[in-house]
Amino acid sequence: MGHYIEVESGVNVYAEDIGIGQPVVFIHGWPLNHKAFESQIGELAANGFRFIGIDLRGYGKSGKPWSGYDYDTAASDVKAVVDYLELEDFVLAGFSMGGPIAIRYLTKYGEEGIDKLLLMGAAAPSFTQREGFALNMKPKEVDQIIAQVKADRPAFLADFANMFFEQKKSPQFLRWFESLGLEAGAHSTVNSAISLRDEDLRDELAGISLPTAIFHGKKDQICAYGLAEELKKGIPNSVLVPFEKSGHGMNGDEPEKFNTEMIRFLKSSGVKTK
């Protein structure tokens, strides 16, 4: 079942809704959409969970307005979906750029109604290096990505697909993966990259008391493994699950391990730290 939810006047966000049971709200990464999690949908439904896959504004089937690509607005859009679907006792699951958006959701709206937090290859606490933070890309490297997107977005997405996975993927799989990025608005892709470059959530981790799992590929070329270690240090009630053979796309590189660890975490009886 699919829902189109008006998040502001004239802007609709799409959410895929499959299965029954405890909801798991997935927030995708840049510049993808909910289809990136297609290999998780069946596993979740078969294990008594309800998959809620949001296409962020600018991506997939959602509206593509000019503005609203900051994390605050993205979190607000997620809240609109949660409220519209009247979700309770749900798990918030953020992949890559969806990780910091999930964290910002907790900062803005608190933890009421949320059972657990799952961060997967998260672009947090900061995607770029800054004073006191020497991990991951330099801001000028993101500027170079933006220039590549503007010059030849299809060619950039082909290169990006090759960086995304550590294990060899079929040409057909890579074409499919590239197609997800092509469903995004070009301006959306650029504006979200600006947010990835500029947003900083280092001060937002300590307030998280939800049981949290941090999944991260040891060979991630997009969000360095060190980011996961920072998240583990910063979030009090967290566990770090390394994927030794994975790049950024863990669910493509180690699909069986990913699904097994995901279901294990979802079925675990986590307890809040406060």
DSSP the chain: -EEEEEEETTEEEEEEEESSSEEEEEE--TT--GGGGHHHHHHHHHTTEEEEEEE-TTSTTS---SS--SHHHHHHHHHHHHHHTT--SEEEEEETTHHHHHHHHHHHH-STTEEEEEEES---S-SB-BTTB--SB-HHHHHHHHHHHHH-HHHHHHHHHHHH-SS---HHHHHHHHHHHHTS-HHHHHHHHHHHHH---GGGSTT--S-EEEEEETT-SSS-HHHHHHHHHHSTTEEEEEETT--S-HHHHSHHHHHHHHHHHHHS------
Write the secondary structure of 54-93 as one string of H (helix), E (strand) and C (coil). EECCCCCCCCCCCCCCCHHHHHHHHHHHHHHCCCCCEEEE
CA distance linking residue 207 with residue 224, whole number of Å: 23
Residues designated as active site: 96, 220, 248
Strand partners, 215: 120, 241
Beta partners for residue 116, in sequence order: 91
